[in-house]
Homo-oligomer: A and B are copies of this chain.
């Protein structure tokens, strides 16, 4: 076990907090402290990727395939160890220690030292070490999912809020771009929540696996005595896992609602754009009617402008008559066309059509009585 970086909680607290505060996480020099792990105390190890997994397997009595961590989310017990992976966090949990593998460059350092270590060290918890560690890790996972949802949610809501603004003639297309990016993140988040939920559900469905996860129960004889005082480890483990399952379920519900909101908003955006278009088209049509009237009666003016003899050339009233006819005529025709348009757009529906659902709305239909 000598080729593994070995940090007792106390050492971490003393040595590294300052370093972390300086923001210099990249070359975090966790100096191996010498820590005697007396039985009642528990330890947090950081295992470097350079160390051979085979040695780890031999020490813990595991098989090579148990440490493959092929799937992004896994949680199972082997030979009285809990092996788990939550995205970038890979860990092995024994009754007395928690080993974190390959934690470098994953942005986990801060959490590991600033939060996980104190949490594990707190002795107020009445349950064994594996409960504390599992809870801290699952809580970290849920918090990560939650903060990702919290990152995405306000951006999406802001963008949708501005896109459904009824004053907009056209959707701001750079916002659509950002919406699409966030919508994609949301899909990925949904998948991850689903995978997390499924992996917990698989455990919750089989009591046998839950029993295996209670490591201390099988190693520490005193625990059996304690448990006779009222606490059943397997039941506690089920409650713990169920708690996180329900938290994930709530996150999943929120993500689903957000997806639904995007869809609904898109419909509204389309109706908005279509409405704008219809209004513009009606205005355009009204102007086209005006232009048509003017062109029609302007033709009279053009006719009189021809170099041909009309017999009115010298009539001083002719100019005013023809000009007045041109303007009045085109005005009248325009008005005629506009009222025609108004009639034309109103459909041939008899005005007494029954409303679609009013008649179906019986407020007394479902009155949940008092039993």
> Are B295 and A301 in contact (CB-based, < 8 A)?
no
Q: Which positions 288-311 of chain A face chain B at CB distance < 8 Å? A: 288-292, 294-299, 301-311
> Are A358 and B161 in contact (CB-based, < 8 A)?
yes
> Are B313 and A308 in contact (CB-based, < 8 A)?
yes
A126, B243: Cα distance in complex, Å = 36
> Are B180 and A139 in contact (CB-based, < 8 A)?
no
> Are A308 and B312 in contact (CB-based, < 8 A)?
yes
> Are A319 and B306 in contact (CB-based, < 8 A)?
yes
A188, B357: Cα distance in complex, Å = 12
A273, B369: Cα distance in complex, Å = 44
Chain A contact surface mostly: helix
The verdict on A137 contacting chain B, using a C-beta distance below 8 Å, is no
Ordered nearest first, which 7 A-B pairs have the shortest CB separation? A166-B173, A170-B275, A304-B306, A301-B302, A308-B319, A305-B305, A303-B323
Which A residues fall within an 8 A CB radius of B? 65, 68, 70-72, 135, 139, 142-143, 146, 150, 153-154, 157, 160-161, 164, 166-167, 169-174, 176-177, 179-181, 183-184, 187-188, 191, 194-195, 239-240, 243, 246-247, 250-251, 253-254, 256-257, 260-262, 264-285, 287-292, 294-299, 301-316, 318-319, 322-323, 326-327, 330, 337, 341, 344-350, 353, 355-358, 360-361, 363, 366, 368-371
Q: Can you show 16 pairs from A to B with CB atoms below 8 A apart?
A: A166-B173, A166-B349, A171-B271, A177-B353, A181-B357, A184-B356, A184-B357, A187-B257, A243-B371, A247-B368, A280-B282, A283-B344, A288-B291, A307-B313, A309-B318, A311-B316
